[in-house]
Amino acid sequence: MPMKTTSRALAGRAVLALAASLALSLPLTAPVQAAPAAAAAALPDFTELVEKVGPSVVGIRTLERANGRSGGSGMDPSMEEFFRRFGIPMPGNPNTPGPRNNTPRGGNNNADEEPQQRGVGSGFILSADGFIMTNAHVVDGADELIVTLTDKREFKAKVIGLDKRTDVAVVKIEATGLPAVKLGDVGKLKVGEWVLAIGSPFGLENTVTAGIVSAKQRDTGDYLPFIQTDVAINPGNSGGPLINMRGEVVGINSQIYSRSGGFMGISFAIPIDEAGRVADQLRAHGRVIRGRIGVSITAVTKDVAESIGLGKPVGALVRAVEAGGPADKAGLEAGDIITKVDGKPVEKSGDLPRIVGATKPGSKAVLQVFRRGAYRDISVAVAEFEPDAPTRVASSEGAAAPGKSALGLTVSELGDAQRRELKLKHGVRVDAVDGAAARAGLREGDVILALDNVEIADVKQFMAVAGKAEKARAVSVMVRRGEWVNYLVIRPGR
């Protein structure tokens, strides 16, 4: 009996174990089989977007007549566009950035020679009646433009207007019923969001590439902040649209960062809201009307902000004020830090030209300025943008009465001729530099306008202020170098 009982128990346990193993295997098998489908469902499907937006993207060929001013590099036009865009000397003509050597194609000066292909780019249709947006660098300097639609129709185009500062251009073809794009809201664009580009890299029409938004408001030193993506962009993509997952254009593909000449995972697009404002003006006036106040600016560093009492590095440091310009007439001075324009904060120096540029010429703008430890408001009459005034190099004629300070600076009075040349009423000239001042970047010939937030009238005052400076504390120095003004920070204890 005990043996039978044991056998039955063992048999029962074996049955239970088999059932349990089967039960456990069923839920494990189903997810493994479903995983590929679930993963595929999580990936974006761009097919509908391409079908929707693709017909609105065009290829642009630029032609140039060989009338003695174009160069015959003999290379693929898309590569010519790349060399021209990034300022790289053309092969066979190392002294010229771009294909403008003086040897005409074919070796003659026949003005009737057929136009030769100069470059390739992309664009997209803004309206059904034939207005197209692209990059300014794609069409600038071309004698003829050929626009190719996805249905292979070709049209000659004319440039309505281009703006080199933003790299935006509008061209027009004579056609109707064209599929126009829908413009998106850049404010809703998020970092990490999927985006795609359609264009003609290396002349390969309607090529689609995809990626994500890597950053917004990327400041590269250009007039506008860029959208940074990892979408593959190559020569010929310039001027094509950057599209979000709703099929809306959020940018114009414009630049890449590359050390090799090819795509390296970083590309930049002009935000469509900024480009749209430029395009509207180009269509209305053929040019962009911008405001200006006549200042040259630079960034405010953390060390400078702390040393002058500004706290954090915000605003735009005025390096020079154009003589007779709007800022000069309003009383703005080199060394001022502009922190707001009509209440709009200037977080970084690049914000100022964008805010002022968008201000209507002839109107008044109120600048909040930080000057020698205090804020003040200055009203400026905004003028229309024009080329910057030329700069001059200051002369050291007439310097005298030297004095050496503990900061490592030997200074002297400004002569009358130098004051007239620089249009200065105060300041001292640097005759020699060593120690902490040399490490801070001061040079012989610099003019010191302020020290430790105190305006310097002469050598005597400079020596008094320098003598009071604590050796363990950073000391700010407002320096005029040529036509430029900047702040440097001397750290005596280092």
Please report, for the chain, the start and end positions of each structural domain, with discontinuous segments joined by +: 52-173, 291-384, 400-490
Q: Residues of the chain with pLDDT > 90: what percent?
A: 37
pLDDT bucket at 354, cuts 50 / 70 / 90: confident
Give the predicted TM-score (pTM) of the model. 0.62
Q: CA-CA distance, 122 to 143, in Å (whole number)?
A: 17
Predicted confidence (pLDDT) at residue 13 exceeds the cutoff of 80: no
- pLDDT tens, position by position, 376-430: 999 999 998 863 333 332 233 333 445 567 677 888 888 777 777 777 888 898 9
Give the pLDDT score at 101: 38
Same CATH topology for 291-384 and 400-490: the answer is yes
Give the pLDDT score at 178: 95
Mean pLDDT within 237-241: 90
Domain spanning 52-173, CATH class: mainly beta
Give the pLDDT score at 406: 66
Residues taking part in catalysis: 137, 167, 238
Predicted confidence (pLDDT) at residue 78 exceeds the cutoff of 60: no
Mean pLDDT within 330-344: 94
Predicted confidence (pLDDT) at residue 300 exceeds the cutoff of 70: yes
CA 359 to each of CA 290, 295, 310, 323, 331: distance values in angstroms, whole numbers, following the listed order: 7, 15, 26, 21, 19
pLDDT bucket at 5, cuts 50 / 70 / 90: very low
The mean predicted confidence, pLDDT, of the chain is 78
Predicted confidence (pLDDT) at residue 479 exceeds the cutoff of 60: yes
Give the pLDDT score at 473: 76
What is the fold, at CATH topology level, of the domain defined by 291-384?
A: Pdz3 Domain (2.30.42)
- pLDDT tens, position by position, 260-291: 555 677 889 999 999 999 999 999 888 888 89
Predicted confidence (pLDDT) at residue 39 exceeds the cutoff of 90: no
Mean pLDDT within 448-465: 87
Predicted confidence (pLDDT) at residue 83 exceeds the cutoff of 90: no
Rg (CA), the chain: 32
Predicted confidence (pLDDT) at residue 22 exceeds the cutoff of 70: no
Give the pLDDT score at 262: 57
Give the pLDDT score at 371: 93
pLDDT bucket at 316, cuts 50 / 70 / 90: very high
Task: Say which residue the tokens 């089967």 belong to.
Answer: 22
Give the pLDDT score at 25: 47
Predicted confidence (pLDDT) at residue 337 exceeds the cutoff of 50: yes
Q: CA-CA distance, 270 to 290, in Å (whole number)?
A: 18
Predicted confidence (pLDDT) at residue 121 exceeds the cutoff of 50: yes
Give the pLDDT score at 433: 84
Give the pLDDT score at 235: 78
pLDDT bucket at 256, cuts 50 / 70 / 90: confident
Q: CA-CA distance, 490 to 223, in Å (whole number)?
A: 32
Q: Out of 2.30.42.60, 2.30.30.140, 2.60.40.1080, 3.90.550.10, which CATH number does the structure's domain 400-490 have?
A: 2.30.42.60
- pLDDT tens, position by position, 176-223: 999 999 999 999 999 999 999 998 887 787 889 999 999 998 876 667
